[in-house]
Amino acid sequence: MAETQVTSEQRKKIRLAFAPCADYTTQALRPALEHILQPQIEAAGGVSGKSVMLKPNLLAWRRADDPQSVNPRFIVETAKVFLDAGASRVAILENPAVQTAPQVLRAMGIADELKTLGVASANFKNYVKQPPLDAVFFHNLEIADEFREYDFVADLAKAKTHGMMTLTFCVKNLFGLVNGGDRLAWHLAVGRDYDKFADMLLDLYLVVRPAFNLLDAVTCMEGNGPGAGTPADRHFVAGGTDALALDAVAARVLGVDPDTLHIIKRAKARDLFPAPETVDNPDPLPVCEPLALPDRPVMDMAQLHLGVGIPKWMQKPLYKLMVVNPVLDPAKCVGCGVCVKMCPPKSLKLSGGKPAFDLPHCIRCFCCQEHCPKGAIEPRMTRMMRFVKAVDRLFRGGGAVESK
């Protein structure tokens, strides 16, 4: 990776980069990763003699080329780029929901290669209440403190759809620094208020502030994400010094208006989103098919373009009809009970060897769907919600592709 001279004014700019990448072979991936990392490394003043913590999205690894996690070659080649740039230490830390980080890396088949490179891996263990910053909303965040042991954090995200947040990119990936039990507690605490959940994720971002943000969009996940969706080849990688700016641009590339995403909406409301003039993105943006999205958990009544107002007294009853429910595919379900274990409000129980949903108490966090090892649970709109959305599209026109 060739070095270039960077002025102090350039360092102040948020730097984004996009690169085409045909597949996960070293020949395709290495130059693409160098292209998106070079401006970030320059902006950081270099990594020579510095330590770098990689935080990849490792939800699980169940089969070859599983699109629910960052591809193993993406992880290895990223580590090599940092080491070749002079990093004194590179390590991988994560807290997968079921397996440990070393177990996932072994399942991926890269544990020995990483060991040869001197790249250690571990689960987060040291969870500490963070000193509050002026800009944060939640002053009781308890997250993995290991990130403070490194000079830099590199956020390695997978481009995926998400039943609760629509998309999961770099900012959402930081939720992995929260302890597993606390993740369930946060889902329960915010309930169906997805803006509050977005605020918590933004607070995490403000505390950690990764110097390096990378997005694996060579093969994305669409449809029933983030755990059971369909592979979707989009053949690009992206990176940036600011995760919010990167997430917003990448969302638009993948066919989603960033202003419809809770994280971006709340970042703008809190004046956290970078001004356009502060962002430097010299690369042409990829042109690709929109991702097929999961059904949205709830419909925002205020966004309906039906030409009539909805009285407040009607909004609560309509809310119960205008939601997305978790739906079980009995043929795929093996009765393992993982969904019951992962349900924050305990609105799931096994009945006859299959999960039964207590929908009145369901908060639509879709943890059951995210962690089902067989992809047997899918968010699905009620018939009323489908009807209203169809009518709404007549007035609104266009929009992102939906999975169903």
Is the distance from CB of 128 to CB of 142 less than 8 angstroms?
yes
If phi > 0 it is left, if psi is from -120 to 50 it is alpha, else beta; for residue 399 that is left
pLDDT digits (tens, 9 = 90+) for 330-361: 999 999 999 998 888 888 999 999 999 998 88
Report domain extents, the chain.
8-280, 301-396
pLDDT digits (tens, 9 = 90+) for 390-399: 765 665 454 4
The secondary structure element, H or E, covering residue 121 is: strand 120-123
Per-residue confidence band for 388, with pLDDT thresholds at 50, 70 and 90: low
**What 3-state class would DSSP assign to 154?**
strand
299: pLDDT strictly greater than 60: no
324: pLDDT strictly greater than 90: no
44: pLDDT strictly greater than 50: yes
Q: Could you tell me which residue, 311 or 280, shows the higher pLDDT?
A: 280
**Span of 74-78, 196-200, 307-311 with lowest mean pLDDT:** 307-311
| CATH fold for the domain made of 8-280 | Rossmann fold (3.40.50)
Tokens at 288, concatenated:
């690709």
From residue 166, how far is each of 16, 159, 305 by CA, in Å?
Answer: 22, 11, 21
Q: Could you tell me which residue, 76 or 61, shows the higher pLDDT?
A: 76
The pTM for the full model equals: 0.81
CATH of domain 301-396: 3.30.70.20
Q: Catalogue the long-range contacts made by 301-306 (C-beta closer than 8 Å, 24 or more residues apart).
A: 304/388, 304/392, 305/392, 305/395, 305/396, 306/388, 306/391, 306/392, 306/395
Per-residue confidence band for 294, with pLDDT thresholds at 50, 70 and 90: confident
Tokens 């996009």 belong to 18
- Rounded Cα gap, residues 90 and 150, in angstroms: 9
Q: Could you tell me which residue, 363 or 169, shows the higher pLDDT?
A: 169
Question: Mean pLDDT of all residues in the chain?
Answer: 87
Is the distance from CB of 291 to CB of 226 less than 8 angstroms?
no
Sheet strands (E) in 127-176? 127-129, 142-144, 152-162, 166-168
Max distance between CA atoms of the chain, in angstroms, equals: 66
